[in-house]
Amino acid sequence: MFMIRLRTHLAPKRRGTAIGVVAVFIVVAALLAGRFQVNAQPVAFAIQEIANGDYVHFGQIALSSVDNAADIANIGIVVGTDAVAIIDTGGSVAVGQALREAVGKITGKPVRYVINTHEHPDHIFGNAAFAGSGVIFVGHRNLPASIEAHGPFYLRAFRDILGDDAIARVRLIAPTLLVDDTVKLDLGDRTLLLTAWYPSAHTDCDLTVLDEKTHTLFSGDLVFIDHIPVIDGSLKGWLDVLPKLAALPAERVVPGHGRRAGPWPQALDDEQRYLRTVRADVRGFIAAGKKLTEAVPRVAQSERDRWMLFDEYNPRNATAAFAEYEWE
Ligand SMILES: [Zn+2]
């Protein structure tokens, strides 16, 4: 998808505007040329093989929008001798369909499992593209309740972002194969170790997938690289989970967001430093008697130049952390 190249690098904001204009022009030109319908799929859906049998589509580092069809989360494809597992399906049915077509080009093996790493729309809104084809949806034991609790809100919130037509195609699909603790899935000469994490960290339904053959970890949003981590569960819980996560016998990680795989467990270092900085700053401001509104703009400012989308998410992380640690 052309937007990937245009939008996903560490571009200063003023360049972003020019790039946005160019991107809009390309979209309009493509529409006029009849290459797109509304809701059409991305023209190219890039996939990389990062280890033998492990493929990744790196989503853009961006907020969801009509322009990018919410193609902002990373997606994994693991191919065994018998079957295929998909790890997350992207933020719209258009992305899910592009993914499904791309899988068909890699292998003739059937997709047996669609694994959702957590409840967020950019990871599950593409699920409908795989529904009704004998696919088993897999998730953390808390995922069905999370989808039920938050799904309707996500549909309403994303209607404004993606448009009525895109939202009309989304189906909220709860997993039927639930992971309490760990589950192994056999794809044929390749097993996946699925781990459900506790307590709440990025969310309260975080699930990781380790390909035991290649030692490749698909972490979902427990790991962010380059893209600022986003706290929607518990900062305290996330910091508790990280050492346990680091103990997984992986060699590389595919993060939930960030356009590269990272070495394991070193890829956790930046995220851990950021989360600890948020915690230390928030504790300091609380101890000094600062109010939330005074503290939030000052939390983790030392991290500002190290992350993409910092201004978009850091205030919200600081707010969540303040609320969590205020009554510590
Ligand atoms: Zn997420």
* Average pLDDT per 10 consecutive residues for the chain, totaling 328 residues: 29 39 41 39 79 98 95 98 98 97 97 98 98 93 98 96 96 97 98 98 98 98 98 98 98 98 98 98 98 97 98 98 93
Output the CA 279–ligand 1 centroid distance in Å: 20
Report CA(97)–ligand 1 centroid distance (Å). 21
203 Cα: distance to centroid of ligand 1 (angstroms): 7
Identify residue 326 by its one-letter amino acid code: E
Instruction: Look at residues 275, 261, 276 and name the one whose alpha carbon lies nearest to residue 228.
Output: 275
266 C-alpha to ligand 1 centroid (Å): 21
Rounded to the nearest angstrom, the distance between the alpha carbon of 66 and the centre of ligand 1 is 19
Distance CA 115, CA 198 (A): 18
Q: Please give the CATH number for the structural domain made up of 2-325.
A: 3.60.15.10
Predicted confidence at residue 327, as pLDDT, reads 85
Could you tell me the distance, in angstroms and rounded to a whole number, from the CA of residue 223 to the centre of ligand 1? 10
β-sheet with 75-79: strand ranges across: 48-51, 54-57, 75-79, 84-87, 111-115, 136-140, 177-179
Ligand 1 center from residue 85 Cα (angstroms): 20
CA of 245 to the centre of ligand 1 (A): 17
- Measured in residues, the chain has a length of 328
Nearest Cα neighbor of 72 from 81, 60, 58, 83 is: 60
Q: 293 alpha carbon to ligand 1 midpoint, in Å?
A: 25
Domain ranges of the chain: 2-325
pLDDT at 133: 75
Q: Cα separation of 183 and 161, whole Å?
A: 36
* Six-digit token string for 230: 């986003």
Facing residues of 140 across strands? Answer: 179
Distance, CA 219 to ligand 1 centroid (Å)?
Answer: 11
Supply the pLDDT for residue 2.
27
Q: How far is the CA of 123 from the centre of ligand 1 (A)?
A: 7
pLDDT of residue 59: 97
